[in-house]
């Protein structure tokens, strides 16, 4: 139905769906596979809770979510996949991971992609940061080597803020 309306991309694994609706990694993987099967592209969202973050589990939690979310997706299908790191503790809170924290998780994800699919796909797959991106945080985040863009939520509703975000300047 979405495809018939011209929708080309869909999110899978968004934190609100994981938390509120209890969507498991296996269920999210099924969504990813179905979207690709239907000729659409998918943005697989991963991210840790505040409790997991405080226990220094961001990397391991995201690694499990990424591996399970991509299960059964072939190297050829990876051109239809992007990854969004969305630390749950940052979404809608105004808290933002430091560029260093975000880069660390993104580098972990890139390494997993390298392990699963090889260098070319790891380098080509877009990994976005999506945890309360703001005009104040975007420059530092986008300066990181493994952050390929931003998945912008609430700030996209304010034209001035969104304009500043999409016109970021790397530091």
* pLDDT above 70 (res 171): no
Domain positions in the chain: 3-166
Q: What CATH topology corresponds to 3-166?
A: TIM Barrel (3.20.20)
- pLDDT given for residue 56 in this prediction: 93
CA nearest 105: which of 133, 128, 139? 128
Catalytic annotation, pick one of 14, 23, 48, 106 = 14
Our answer to whether residue 86 is catalytic in this structure is yes
Our answer to whether residue 14 is catalytic in this structure is yes
Q: What is the mean pLDDT of residues 75-93?
A: 91
Tell me the pLDDT tens digit for each residue of 12-29. 999 888 888 999 999 999
Tell me the pLDDT tens digit for each residue of 32-42. 999 999 999 99
The pTM (predicted TM-score) of the whole model is: 0.93
- pLDDT given for residue 93 in this prediction: 73
Catalytic annotation, pick one of 23, 48, 86, 106 = 86
């Amino acid at each position: 139905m979405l495809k018939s309306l011209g929708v080309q991309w869909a999110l899978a694994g968004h934190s609100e769906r994981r938390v509120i609706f209890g969507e498991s990694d296996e269920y999210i993987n099924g969504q990813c596979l179905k979207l690709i099967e239907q000729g659409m592209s998918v943005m697989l969202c991963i991210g840790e809770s505040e409790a997991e973050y405080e226990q220094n589990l961001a990397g391991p939690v995201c690694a499990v979510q990424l591996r399970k979310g991509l299960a059964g997706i072939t190297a050829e299908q990876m051109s239809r996949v992007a990854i969004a790191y969305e630390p749950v503790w940052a979404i809608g809170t105004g808290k933002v991971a430091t560029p260093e924290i975000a880069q660390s998780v993104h580098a972990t994800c890139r390494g997993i992609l390298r392990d699963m699919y090889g260098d070319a796909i790891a380098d080509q797959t877009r990994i976005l940061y999506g945890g309360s991106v703001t005009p104040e945080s975007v420059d530092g985040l986008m300066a990181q080597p493994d952050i390929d863009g931003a998945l912008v939520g609430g700030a996209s509703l304010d034209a001035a803020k969104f304009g500043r975000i999409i016109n970021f300047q790397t530091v």
